[in-house]
Structure 1
Amino acid sequence: MSLEAIVSQYGLPALFVGAGVEGETVVMLGGMLVHRGLLSFWPAILAASLGSLTADQLFFLIGRRLRSWPLVERTRHRPAFKRARQTFERYPTGFILLFRFLYGLRTISPMAIGTTDVPATRFLALNALAALIWGTLFITLGYWFGQGIQTVFGRARHYEYVLAFVAGIAAVVLLVLHIARRRHNRRGDALPSRREGA
């Protein structure tokens, strides 16, 4: 089976899962596939948005219904969780709309918000709007990036090498971000008074 056939058959479900588990990198790759004509623009946006929304709602429900669960109890003591709660309490609407764009807070924020008294219907409505904006933005960015790749590499039929190249770059970027986050967390652990006062 060709790559085109695989993506055509499984592309949208893969984009749905990848958007919820990984995030922006997968969605931008989805945008590149839209540019290649392997996925349609609006269905790709819908799949990415729903994947992100589903993951967020799951974490929200964990925070709301399983507050005494050991995983939630451990998570509540993490600096990022406290930071998310504090930011939400200051800017509840803005934070729900923007947390998925904030580095280091995207995954933990829905769980933190779930431990507050915000109505579940309000969170769902605002989160759905934010997910749609997020999905549209990163599918579009991936589409534009695909245009740039095509300009550089030309209209090669065997574009698997291009996708492998982009995936390699994405892996390096993710590794660098992971290392930077670990260093940031170590600095934060070394300076608890500064973190708590922020």
Structure 2
Amino acid sequence: MLILAGFAAHQGYLSFPIVLALAFVGGTLGDQLFFFLGHFYGQSVIARFPSWTDRVQQVCRLLQRYHAGVIVGIRFMYGLRIAGPVVIGASAVPPWRFALFNMLGAVIWAVSIGSIGYLFGEALQWLFTDIRRSEEGVLLLIVLVGLLFGVVRRLQRDRRAEH
């Protein structure tokens, strides 16, 4: 969704700074919500989702080795977007520490993912500008390739008919 919002900002439909600000706020609040859910109801929430067993173990292992890095990067880890903050909340991580690193991760996430969408729009604009400049050449090339393809197919058919 954020990539699409970045693309829409490039096209002028949305304000890019507002897109990034809303992504930061939404990302931060969402993870804080899941952290506090884990902080207050961690074990019962984790027990309700047996499919999370592998994810819980993975987050716990990562958390022991790369404490701050896991908090910052959890939003980038496929399959851990929701389970990660819940598991971190159920661990011994203090809420202030999670909030600090969560905000850092949200800034990195909002800017990087939002910028991907914006740059995608820039690349498309560059591509279409070049195509417009050379559309007659492209059209001629398409016609020539089509003719060449037709000739080759005809020759293959004629050759098969002879055998």
Give the structure-2-normalised TM-score: 0.72
Task: Give the match for residue 73 of structure 1.
Answer: 47
Structure 1 unaligned regions, length at least 5: 1-25, 155-198
Task: Give the match for residue 144 of structure 1.
Answer: 119
| Residue 61 (str. 1) matches residue 36 (str. 2) | yes
| One-letter amino acid matched to 1:73 | A
Task: Give the match for residue 102 of structure 1.
Answer: 77
Q: 1:48-96, CA deviations, whole angstroms, 9 ceiling, x for partnerless residues?
A: 1111111111111110111353x43133751011111111111111111
Alignment of 1:25-104 (within 5 A): 26-69=1-44, 71-75=45-49, 78-104=53-79
Answer 1 or 2: higher relative contact order, Cα 8 Å, separation at least 6: 2
Deviation at 1:101, TM superposition (A): 1.3
Deviation at 1:151, TM superposition (A): 3.2
Deviation at 1:106, TM superposition (A): 2.1
Report the RMSD for the aligned CA atoms in angstroms: 1.6
Deviation at 1:153, TM superposition (A): 4.2
Secondary structure at the residue paired with 2:49?
A: helix
On the 8 A contact 1:32/1:142 being kept in 2, the answer is yes
Structure (1 or 2) with the larger CA radius of gyration: 2
Q: Which stretch shows the higher mean deviation, 129-138 or 34-43?
A: 34-43
Q: 1:102 to 1:67 in 2, by over 3 A?
A: closer
Secondary structure at the residue paired with 1:86?
A: helix
How many corresponding residue pairs?
128
Deviation at 1:105, TM superposition (A): 1.8
**Identical pairs, percent:** 34
Give the structure-1-normalised TM-score: 0.60
Deviation at 1:109, TM superposition (A): 0.6
Alignment of 1:121-140 (within 5 A): 121-140=96-115
Structure 2 unaligned regions, length at least 5: 130-163
Alignment of 1:7-18 (within 5 A): none
Greater helix proportion: 2
On the 8 A contact 2:42/2:87 being kept in 1, the answer is no
Alignment of 1:152-191 (within 5 A): 152-153=127-128
